[in-house]
Amino acid sequence: MNEVRRVIYTCDVGSTRNQKNREGPAFAWARLDPNEERKSIQGHRDIKQLVMKLELDIDEGYSVALGFEAPLFIPVPDNACDLSTARCGEGTPSWASRIGLAVSALGIHQSAQLGGLDHVVCQSRFSAEQSQVNTNRIARICDL
């Protein structure tokens, strides 16, 4: 059986602009190839570099997993009184806190940059029903 060639990416969501009080942007990404004998982590602070590296890996036939350190899954409770409450097992601050909401919006905005990938077909559909989520998708964007 052929070994699956896969790579894992993660993005630390933050401003992509240079900050006055730090060297470079707050956004950062890292890449790991778990099949490498000596596991080395590659990364950068430039979102354009992320898009280029993802495209190279896809061209080379890698199966790519990509995660964002941002709450991109937001539960829709049955009871309206439970709106804006933390997700099960979520610590403080929750997705519904000021920082959580800001990072969610920024994560959605930054993940849209992936639309520049020639090989990614984006098919989005809103669903509040767990049964309607397609769990057979090969690639998915999720929060960490």
Structure-block tokens of residue 73? 């899954």
Q: What percent of the chain has pLDDT over 70?
A: 76
Task: Report the alpha-carbon distance of residue 54 to residue 9 in Å, rounded.
Answer: 9
Task: Report the alpha-carbon distance of residue 11 to residue 30 in Å, rounded.
Answer: 7
pLDDT (tens digit per residue) in 60-88: 989 888 888 888 888 888 899 988 888 88
Strand-pair category, 141-143 with 63-68: parallel
Of 18-32, 44-58, 66-80, give the range with the top mean pLDDT.
Answer: 44-58
When the pLDDT of each residue in the chain is averaged and rounded to a whole number, the result is: 79
State mean pLDDT over 89-115: 87
CA 60 to chain CA centroid, nearest Å: 21
What confidence category does residue 117 fall into, taking pLDDT thresholds of 50, 70 and 90?
low
pLDDT at 133: 47
Task: Report the alpha-carbon distance of residue 134 to residue 23 in Å, rounded.
Answer: 41
Q: Which residue has the higher pLDDT, 119 or 105?
A: 105
Q: Which residue has the higher pLDDT, 139 or 5?
A: 5
Q: Which residue has the higher pLDDT, 18 or 48?
A: 48
